[in-house]
């Protein structure tokens, strides 16, 4: 699965402001949580008491009382219940202001911070937890409503959505549902808290505990945003394209560390974003930014140096069973395995990969599978060109797609020139599915809503161009046996056979195979004749004993200490690297 680094980028971007530097509080535990904490602790009661905010020195000893040296895990539920009451009587709950914050951000036109406390009920015992929190809300004007929620400055695992209808902005998800009378907006909310309940096994947070404060924060933030924008944006009619054009080089320098590091398109977006909001009062739309603003810039000036696009697509190698995620960096580092496949099939939908691999279709036809889940990405197009330039190995390229307007364009843009990339250097054969064939096959036809005219590929007859304005047929309309028979029939029309390299390549491969196999046979015979295993075992015992003797007399540090010391010098290493070095030193310094 392609790795998505957007969460990591956001976490890095918002890792600023203040953080909580204190200890935990007894107010943050229910009766049963407190008992579980004692059960898990491996020290004494006094040792555990000192871990709480405001409980050090003599105060910890006084609270621990008769249990001072008693193991914490030895206390009963009744005893921990009494201790929790004592602790709460001795210290106050943490002031929410101490929990930290991101603080106001230049790129957002509205900001509001509030604090509060929510309670968590206990199942057993009488003490509820009282959890403090800080809630920060940010807003920027946007035609499309959107909300991002952070928990302690990092994106949450759940999904929260924003929807606008008439004059109401609705926010829902993760146990949250609130309506605010407002225009559509781009919102960011950050919750600083030591604990948040979860509602699913996937660790989705239950935001209902902060719902009222969040609704209040959205109202306040949007009000401030509207006031700041009414003056700041007055008289400004600049387009996002103009603003991006002016700030792009500065944003590239910021994202790349002045040209020292590679950076993603998403990172460039976040570097540009503050300028656009400040100058236009609006959040830049990410798809528009990628396709129109950056895509247009690169069409005119060439690819932006050091920038890469996230992986969107997969290449499957037959015979090795290897799936490769396709992105800018993967294509740059890609090396085709020699004489392994002589055909490549581009598929609109990755869902067909499973059945094709299960039935060994790629292996049967020496056929690599390739998808970008829709329109081919820049990286996929570059990969096709690179494969086509692969010296003496001739490769045939195929494409299959749905019989709809979108599908015909997938093939056409894969083959022909677009603003982002020139036409392919290789010929791609369109295997279908095209509408005339789909109708002739008697496949189920879906009706689609008519409205604005749908663009279709130029290779279609006008009759079928008109048909596609109101109809479509998916590849999925075929049963699996029907699809496999259809695809194999198409491939056979152009099949030049299995991969068979030139004779010298096969002779060389045979020689290498014989050398490797005979080498193993002869080596095993020699080793067995000379009692190899016995000699190795004896040598290991001998040098290990001398190594242990040197540790005993102090001339050699213990292994654990050596590993810790070397890792402190070279943190990028793994402990096994150090052990390997120690092993080499032993063999070099201790004769056997």
- Return mean pLDDT, the chain: 84
Kindly report which listed range (95-109, 277-291, 361-375) carries the lowest average pLDDT score: 277-291
Q: Specify which residues 188 forms β-bridges with.
A: 138, 148
* Residue 477 sits in the same domain as residue 489: yes
* Residue 192 sits in the same domain as residue 126: yes
CA–CA separation, 312 and 334 (whole Å):
15
* Residue 464 sits in the same domain as residue 337: yes
CB 558 within 8 A of CB 570: no
DSSP assigned state of 233? S
Q: Specify which residues 130 forms β-bridges with.
A: 119
Overall number of domains in the chain: 5
CA–CA separation, 223 and 227 (whole Å):
6
> In Å, what is the CA distance from 455 to each residue of 3, 242, 349, 413, 552?
32, 29, 20, 12, 81
Neighbour order of strands in the sheet with 146-151: 110-120, 129-141, 185-192, 146-151, 154-155
* Residue 433 sits in the same domain as residue 466: yes
* Residue 292 sits in the same domain as residue 325: no
Residue 130 pLDDT more than 90? yes
Average pLDDT, integer, range 441-468: 84
Containing domain of residue 430, as a range? Answer: 314-494
Kindly report which listed range (420-429, 463-472, 478-487, 542-551) carries the lowest average pLDDT score: 420-429
Give DSSP secondary structure letters for 570-591: -TTS-HHHHHHHHHHHHHHHS-
CB 411 within 8 A of CB 433: no
Residue 420 pLDDT more than 50? no
- Judge whether 371 lies within some domain: yes
* Residue 187 sits in the same domain as residue 321: no
Residue at a domain's end among 274, 308, 342:
308
Percent over 90 (pLDDT), the chain: 25
- Judge whether 14 lies within some domain: no
- Full 3-state SS string of 436-504: HHHHHCCCCCEECCCCCCCCCCCCCCHHHHHHCCCEEECHHHCCHHHHHHHHHHHHHHHCCCCCCCCHH
Average pLDDT, integer, range 456-461: 84
- Judge whether 200 lies within some domain: yes
Q: What's the CATH code of the domain at 447?
A: 3.40.1360.10
* Residue 281 sits in the same domain as residue 416: no
- Judge whether 505 lies within some domain: no
pLDDT confidence bin for 7, thresholds 50/70/90: low
- Judge whether 17 lies within some domain: no
* Residue 109 sits in the same domain as residue 171: yes
Paired tokens of 147: 């909300």
Residue 396 pLDDT more than 60? yes
Q: Regarding predicted confidence, which is higher, 591 or 88?
A: 88
Predicted confidence at residue 222, as pLDDT, reads 81
Residue at a domain's end among 255, 273, 308:
308
Of the candidates 298, 285, 331, 256, the residue with the CA atom closest to the CA atom of residue 143:
285
Burial class from Cβ neighbours inside 10 Å (0-12, 13-18, 19+) for residue 148 reads middle
Kindly report which listed range (140-149, 175-184, 416-425) carries the lowest average pLDDT score: 416-425
- Judge whether 436 lies within some domain: yes
DSSP assigned state of 180? E
- Judge whether 560 lies within some domain: yes
CB 31 within 8 A of CB 125: yes
- Judge whether 525 lies within some domain: no
Residue at a domain's end among 203, 232, 261:
232
Average pLDDT, integer, range 232-259: 76
pLDDT confidence bin for 425, thresholds 50/70/90: low
Mean pLDDT is highest, among 70-74, 268-272, 372-376, 388-392, for: 70-74
CB 259 within 8 A of CB 253: yes
* Residue 59 sits in the same domain as residue 107: no
Q: Regarding predicted confidence, which is higher, 496 or 392?
A: 496
* Residue 85 sits in the same domain as residue 73: yes
Average pLDDT, integer, range 32-42: 93
* Residue 400 sits in the same domain as residue 468: yes
* Residue 76 sits in the same domain as residue 158: no
């Amino acid at each position: 699965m392609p790795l998505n680094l957007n969460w990591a980028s956001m976490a890095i971007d918002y890792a600023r402001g203040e953080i909580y530097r204190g200890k935990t509080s007894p107010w943050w535990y229910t009766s049963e949580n407190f008992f579980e904490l004692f059960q898990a602790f491996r020290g004494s009661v006094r040792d555990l008491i000192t871990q709480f905010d405001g409980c050090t020195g003599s105060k910890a000893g006084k609270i621990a009382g008769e249990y001072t040296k008693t193991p914490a895990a030895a206390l009963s539920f009744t005893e921990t219940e009494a201790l929790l009451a004592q602790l709460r009587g001795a210290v106050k709950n943490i002031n929410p202001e101490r929990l930290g914050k991101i603080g106001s951000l230049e790129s957002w036109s509205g900001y509001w911070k509030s604090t509060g406390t929510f309670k968590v009920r206990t199942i057993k015992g009488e003490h509820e937890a009282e959890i403090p929190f800080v809630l920060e809300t940010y807003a920027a004007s946007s035609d499309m409503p959107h909300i991002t929620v952070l928990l302690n400055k990092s994106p949450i695992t759940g999904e929260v959505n924003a929807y606008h209808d008439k004059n109401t902005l609705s926010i829902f998800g993760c146990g949250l549902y609130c309506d605010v009378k407002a225009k559509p907006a781009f919102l960011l909310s950050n919750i600083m808290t030591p604990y948040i309940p979860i509602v699913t096994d996937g660790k989705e947070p239950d935001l209902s505990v902060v719902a009222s404060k969040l609704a209040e924060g959205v109202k306040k933030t949007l009000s401030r945003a509207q006031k700041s924008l009414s003056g700041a944006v007055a008289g400004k009619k600049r387009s996002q394209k103009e603003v991006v054009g002016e700030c792009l080089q500065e944003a590239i320098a910021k994202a790349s560390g002045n040209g020292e590091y590679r950076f993603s398109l998403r990172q460039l977006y976040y570097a540009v974003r503050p300028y656009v909001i400040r100058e236009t009062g609006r959040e830049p739309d990410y798809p528009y930014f990628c396709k129109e603003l950056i895509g247009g810039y690169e069409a005119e000036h060439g690819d932006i140096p050091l920038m890469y696009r996230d992986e969107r697509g997969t290449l499957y190698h037959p015979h090795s069973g290897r799936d490769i995620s396709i992105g800018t960096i993967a294509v740059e580092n890609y090396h085709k395995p020699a004489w392994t496949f002589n055909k490549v099939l581009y598929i609109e939908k990755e869902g067909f990969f499973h059945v094709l691999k299960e039935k060994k279709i790629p292996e049967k036809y020496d056929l690599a599978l390739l998808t970008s889940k829709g329109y081919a990405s820049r990286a996929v197009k570059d990969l096709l060109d690179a494969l086509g330039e692969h010296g003496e190995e001739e490769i045939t390229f195929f494409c299959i797609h749905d019989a709809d307007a979108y599908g015909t364009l997938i093939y056409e843009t894969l083959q022909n020139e677009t603003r982002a990339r020139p036409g392919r250097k290789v010929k791609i054969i369109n295997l279908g599915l095209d509408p005339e064939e789909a109708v002739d096959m008697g496949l189920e036809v879906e009706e689609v809503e008519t409205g604005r005219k749908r663009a279709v590929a130029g290779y279609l007859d006008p009759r079928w161009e008109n048909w596609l304005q109101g109809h479509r047929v998916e590849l999925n309309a075929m049963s699996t046996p029907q699809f496999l028979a259809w695809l194999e029939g198409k491939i056979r029309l152009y099949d030049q056979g299995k991969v068979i390299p030139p004779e010298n390549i096969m002779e060389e491969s045979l020689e290498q195979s014989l050398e490797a196999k005979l080498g193993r046979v002869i080596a095993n015979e020699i080793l067995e004749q000379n009692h190899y295993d016995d000699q190795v075992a004896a040598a290991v015992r001998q040098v290990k004993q001398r190594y242990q003797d040197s540790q005993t007399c102090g001339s050699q540090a213990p292994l654990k200490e050596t590993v810790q010391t070397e890792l402190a010098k070279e943190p990028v290493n793994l402990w096994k690297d150090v052990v390997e070095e120690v092993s080499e030193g032993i063999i070099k310094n201790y004769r056997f």
